[in-house]
Structure 1
Amino acid sequence: MRKTVVAVALVAALAACSDEGDDEPTLPAPAVPTPTVTGGASSRPGGPPDLGAPQQVASGLDVPWGMAFLPDGNALVAERDTGRILQVSPGGGAARQVYEVPGVDAGGEGGLLGLAVSPEYTQDRWVYAYHTAEPDNRIVRFRLDGGGRPEVIFQGIRKAGNHNGGRIKFGPDGMLYAGTGDAADTDLSQDPQSPNGKILRLTPEGDPAPGNPRAGSPVYTMGHRNVQGLAWDSAGRMYATEFGQNRLDEVNRIEPGRNYGWPEVEGEGDTEGGRYTNPIVTWPTDDASPSGAAIAGDTLYVAALRGERLWTVPLNDGRAGEPRAELRDRYGRLRTVEVAPDGALWLATSNRDGRGDVRDGDDRILRHPARS
């Protein structure tokens, strides 16, 4: 069944942004505790990925954005502007088109964005995608071998030329999480009735998930500008990356019902009375524009667009250590980072998105195997 959020008119003027190149309401406490699973979706075998041993597994792609893994270890990769979904093998070889999402309205930062594979894929065969359509941003699901049109499970996320969010992932609780943007209308981030500027938590069918902070609402957290990275550690703690505007990009520890402050706060700010929650990491916007996020072991990996590097952030019981820049200026703009079932770290470049310097072979997918 389709889930529809009340539509609002698109803004005509876009706010200044650093995303890829350039009394506030607070949610109540959750009605019931949100389940977490120790050793959840982010636990992977093997040692840390070897960043000094890259393997190019695909090249010549057109703005790869979303990435998700099938149970057999092959990756699905979404091309933002073409709407194509490609299958990429860890052994390399030509990327193979396995699906094309109809109705993708690419433009600006919109298009075919995040991908997720059902945790029950071997039984239900569902693949999920977040994409920009003609009227809005929406989440759909489909079967690669079904041949039919996608099923819209959630719609009504306002779109704009920028700040469309787009990352989706299944959490260790089996629920579908989606990071959205404010669609260049900052008021939406503090509006609990709007899905924009939020992290949403949905059932696999697109309903508001049980145990959400407000019963019947898909909103899990609010006060976000443009969320594009979601990850969980082995204890089920959730983290998200967020584009700042002019000063500071963020990594946030995500807890249900929290308000992360945008547009009143960029980076750290007023937390008096528990109104806002501060990030655990900030960077100057020139150094990051943090897009994808993934966790391997006790390290958070963050793909940086404007910063053209991979940030590694040590984690200790939900707290962040000193970030370290890796692969600086080696591959250009990094859009997506994911950990494969075998523990390898995969990276997608984004130099053909209109804001990068195109290198030979761009855009490409790089695989860094786990150390034995």
Structure 2
Amino acid sequence: MGAYCTPRSADAQPGSYQVGNTTVSVSTLTTGRDTPWELLWGPDNFLWMTERGGRVSRIDPATGVVTPLLTIADVTETGESGLLGMAVVPTPGSNQYGVFVVYNYTEGGQLKEKLVRYQYTIGTNALSNPQVLLGNIPAQTTHSGSRLLLLPDNTLLMTTGDAQDLPSAQNRSSLTGKILRLNLDGSVPANNPVAGSLVYTLGHRNPQGLARAASTGKLYSAEHGPNNDDEVNLIEANRNYGWPNVEGLCNLPAEQAFCQANNVREPLITWTPTLGVSGLAYYDHPAIPDWRNNLLQLSLKAGTFSALPLSANGEQVLRENNLWTGTYGRLRAICVSPQGRVYVGTSNRDGRTAPGPTDDRILVLENRAFTPTSVTKPVALSLTIYPNPAPANATATLQLPALRTRATALLTDARGRQVWQGEISGGTTQLSLPPAAPGLYLLRLRTPDGAELRGRIMRP
């Protein structure tokens, strides 16, 4: 382990930490949250958050202002159950996103779990049109997972816990104790490991973290052990992760026999006693060089923020560096922004500890001295608009620099609220502007290689 460790204080004041030669500052973005479960960096450049009681919100990363979108009425929050993981997916050719959430609900007196897709229309600050994609999954007040992760091929991974039915984790006909892979309409991808089955991997106890390394495409999960062997796993299609027959490594005679017979993938790293591993994210940004090609791992019981350097091929965890242990109490939600900032949600109102007066909080970790390179630094946009000021429903002609790829275009008002999103090519492009109120609007174009171009549009 690394040497970074400070005394536990559930409402400690943010400060700074040294990571190699980099000073990482910690500040509070927002307070008074109730058990944040998921944090995502959304396609609208806002943070998206679920809270276990059922609320979905957007957070302005510049101001910390929280805008609730929906409190889901049939969420059952009891024990560790409630509103859990989320994924936000733009709908091509529209001003809408698909918002996927996993949550526990009660039906016929039984606790269950389902995956639901909502519709978000830019500018409405609301979710609508719920569609159940997957339901009737057995659940308990513990061991229900669940994280969601969108893959580049527009399929979705979903983790499920064993719901305290341990043998179900080895039963391919059960959806518990698994990582599932499904299309965005809930159907089974044609290239899943077993035809007609959502099961991507099996033998999981309670996966609480899920991440993908952009550099290698490899997938990782963080998983609770019983009283021993919390795990971080390298996720490979159709592999077995051992539970309940194997705890941690294949190091006992009975475990070794099971592992050899059942295609078991051993974890990359384990912890005994357990930490209560939770949120997991991949970091590979120049803002904090010592965290490049690292997994960032949170824990609940120990309250650790750990950096786990990976080998170049992503198949080994080289060591564990703890930035802190216990300083901010229980930690669950984590995400990384395109600017290299790390956002962390505390979980001190989850019933397992005494919360501090400002809990729960969203913390921001950043290198404030970092200066983006010329590739990522915003540059002036050569923009010609006819007419300008542009009345509602006008068609504008945009003259842009040559772009290697299509750029994502975002139109925001003077308060930073997004009113439109689309894709634009370089050169001369015709843009049909959406209806909008009078005022000044900012058009931002972002390319996949990190370049950002900006221009202003006036609406009379």
Residue 285 of structure 1 and its aligned partner are, at CA, apart by 3.8
- 1:107 to 1:122, Cα distance in 2 relative to 1, 3 A: farther
Match of 2:67 in 1: 96
Matched, 1:289 2:269: no
* Closer/same/farther in 2, CA of residues 311 and 364 from structure 1, 3 Å limit: same
- 298-307 or 167-176: which moved more? 167-176
Counterpart-to-counterpart distance in 1, 2:37 and 2:63: 18
**In the aligned structure 1, how far is the partner of 2:149 from the partner of 2:20?**
22
Write the mapping of 1:125-204 to structure 2, written as runs, cut at 5 A: 125-135=97-107, 136-144=112-120, 145=124, 148-204=128-184
**Pick from 344, 347, 361: which aligns with 2:344?**
347
- Within 5 A, what are the aligned runs for 1:280-319? 280-286=268-274, 288-297=275-284, 298-316=293-311, 317-318=313-314, 319=316
One of 346, 351, 354 as aligned partner of 1:357? 354
More displaced 10-residue stretch of structure 1: 66-75 or 189-198: 66-75
Following TM superposition, the consecutive aligned residue runs of length 4 or more in structure 1 with deviations greater than 6 angstroms are 47-51
The 10-residue stretch of structure 1 (248-257 or 110-119) with the greater mean CA deviation from structure 2: 110-119
- 8 Å CA contact 1:130, 1:139 repeated in 2: yes
Contact persistence 1:50–1:369 (CA under 8 A): no
Q: Secondary structure at the match of 1:99?
A: strand
Which digits, 9 at most, give the CA deviation of each residue in 1:19-38, with x for residues without a partner?
A: xxxxxxxxxxxxxxxxxxxx
* Contact kept? 1:56, 1:92, Cα under 8 Å: no
Find the aligned partners of 2:178 and 2:88 in 1 and give their Cα distance.
21
* C-alpha spacing 1:369/1:162, structure 2 compared with 1 (3 Å): same
SS where residue 169 of structure 2 aligns? helix
Alignment of 1:1-372 (within 5 A): 52-81=24-53, 83-120=54-91, 123=94, 124-135=96-107, 136-144=112-120, 145=124, 148-233=128-213, 234-269=215-250, 270=256, 271-273=259-261, 275-286=263-274, 288-297=275-284, 298-316=293-311, 317-318=313-314, 319-369=316-366, 371-372=370-371
Structure 1 residues 214, 249: closer, same or farther in 2, change over 3 A? same
After superposing the two structures, state which structure 1 stretch, 83-92 or 220-229, moved more: 83-92
How far did residue 115 of structure 1 move?
1.0
- In 2, Cα distance between the equivalents of 1:351 and 1:282? 24
Which of 264-273 and 245-254 deviates more?
A: 264-273
User: 266-275 or 292-301: which moved more?
Assistant: 266-275
Greater alpha carbon shift after TM alignment, 117-126 vs 203-212:
117-126
Q: Is the 8 A contact 1:49 1:344 kept in 2?
A: no
Structure 1 residue 274, shift from structure 2 partner: 5.5
From the superposition, tell whether residues 268 and 71 of structure 1 become closer, same or farther in structure 2 (CA, over 3 Å).
same
SS, match of residue 258 in structure 1: coil
Q: Deviations over 1:290-347 (max 9, x none)?
A: 1110001100011100011111100111211111111212111001111123221110
CA distance in structure 1 between the aligned counterparts of 2:128 and 2:238, rounded to whole angstroms: 37
Count of residue pairs brought into register by the alignment:
324
Are 2:119 and 2:129, in contact at CA under 8 Å, matched by a contact in 1? no
Q: What CA distance in whole angstroms lies between the structure 2 residues aligned with 1:160 and 1:301?
A: 28
Query: What secondary structure does 1:202 align onto?
Result: strand
> d(CA) in 2 for partners of 1:192 and 1:49?
48
% identical aligned pairs: 36
Structure 1 residues 167-176 or 293-302, which shifts more?
167-176
Deviation at 1:122? 7.2
| Aligned-partner Cα distance in 2 for 1:290–1:162 | 14
Normalising by the residue count of structure 1, what TM-score does the alignment of the two structures yield? 0.83
Residue by residue, what CA displacement relative to the aligned partner does 1:205-239 show, whole Å, maximum 9, x if unpaired?
11112211101110000000001111111211000
Q: Please name the residue that 2:385 is paired with.
A: none
Judge conservation of contact 2:52–2:81 (CA < 8 Å) in 1: yes
Q: Structure 1: how far apart are the matches of 2:364 and 2:29?
A: 7
Read off the aligned partner of 2:137 and give its amino acid letter: I
For residues 247 and 151 of structure 1, the distance between their equivalents in structure 2, rounded to whole angstroms, comes to: 39
Unpaired segments of 5 or more residues in structure 1?
1-46
Gaps of 5+ in 2: 1-18, 251-255, 285-292, 372-460
Given that 1:126 and 1:142 are in contact with CA atoms closer than 8 Å, whether structure 2 keeps it comes out as yes
Please identify the structure whose Cα radius of gyration is greater.
2
Distance 1:75 1:202, change over 3 A: same
Root-mean-square deviation (CA, aligned residues, Å) is: 2.0
Of structures 1 and 2, the one with the larger relative CO (CA 8 A, separation 6+) is 1
Higher mean C-alpha deviation, range 185-194 or range 147-156: 147-156
Show the counterpart of 1:16: none
Distance 1:128 1:356, change over 3 A: same
Q: Check conservation: 2:229, 2:247, Cα contact below 8 A.
A: yes
Structure holding more strand per residue: 2
